[in-house]
């Protein structure tokens, strides 16, 4: 099967390989995002067991990962700026594509699949954040119609750029 599907616990090794690959890529971008060991295998396993972690698979190989949450406490208020669109929303977390698949449109396909999931759930807003030095992610979000909202603090201390999109 090609496309987005719910992750299974049996996918954890491949998922964590993508996390490690993303950590290494972000380090080359001088971004501190994911450099503290997050996301952890425990977080991914919990997301998987709660049906909120997905993988993008092509020809039997997992090449992308994404968590979709119905609520993110960090999104309660922005440090600066404001959300363009009101709740309810679907929050994107832990989003990565294996680096050897970068610039092939996989992230865009994943975002399109997320929009379909949101529509099926009658949710009309998607929220996401990223580090200011994660330029590839910022470019993907902008290209796919996400609007910059301001700055959010993740875990109360990690500044990130917040984006949202009405679908």
Q: What is the residue extent of each domain of the chain?
A: 3-166
CA dist 118 and 167 (Å) reads: 8
Q: Is the pLDDT of residue 41 over 70?
A: yes
Name the CATH code of domain 3-166 (choices 3.40.630.30, 3.40.50.410, 2.30.42.10, 3.40.1190.20).
3.40.630.30
CA dist 66 and 42 (Å) reads: 15
| Averaged pLDDT for residues 139-149 | 97
Q: What is the pTM of this model?
A: 0.94
Q: If you average pLDDT over every residue of the chain, what do you get?
A: 95
Q: Is the pLDDT of residue 37 over 90?
A: no
The pLDDT assigned to 36 comes to 87
Q: Is the pLDDT of residue 122 over 90?
A: yes
| Averaged pLDDT for residues 123-127 | 97
The pLDDT assigned to 1 comes to 67
Percent of the chain with pLDDT over 90: 90
* Residue 36: half-sphere exposure toward Cβ, Cα within 13 Å: 7
Phi-psi region of 56 (alpha: psi -120 to 50; beta: other; left: phi over 0): beta
CA dist 131 and 145 (Å) reads: 18
Question: Which value, in Å, is the radius of gyration of the alpha carbons in the chain?
Answer: 15
| Averaged pLDDT for residues 110-127 | 97
């Amino acid at each position: 099967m090609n496309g987005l599907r719910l992750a299974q616990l049996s996918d954890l090794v491949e998922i964590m390989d993508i996390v490690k690959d993303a950590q290494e890529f972000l380090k080359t971008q001088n971004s501190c995002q994911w450099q503290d060991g997050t996301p952890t295998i425990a977080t991914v396993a919990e997301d998987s067991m709660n049906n909120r972690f997905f993988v993008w698979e092509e020809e039997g190989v997992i090449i992308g990962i994404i968590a979709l949450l119905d609520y993110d406490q960090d999104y309660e208020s922005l440090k600066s700026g404001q959300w363009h669109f009101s709740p309810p929303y679907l929050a994107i977390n832990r989003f990565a594509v294996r680096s050897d698949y970068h610039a092939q449109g996989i992230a865009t396909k994943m975002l399109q699949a997320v929009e379909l999931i949101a529509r099926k759930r009658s949710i009309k807003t998607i929220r996401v954040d990223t580090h200011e030095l994660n330029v590839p992610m910022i470019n993907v979000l902008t290209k796919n119609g996400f609007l910059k909202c301001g700055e959010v603090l993740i875990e109360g201390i990690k500044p990130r750029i917040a984006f949202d999109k009405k679908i």
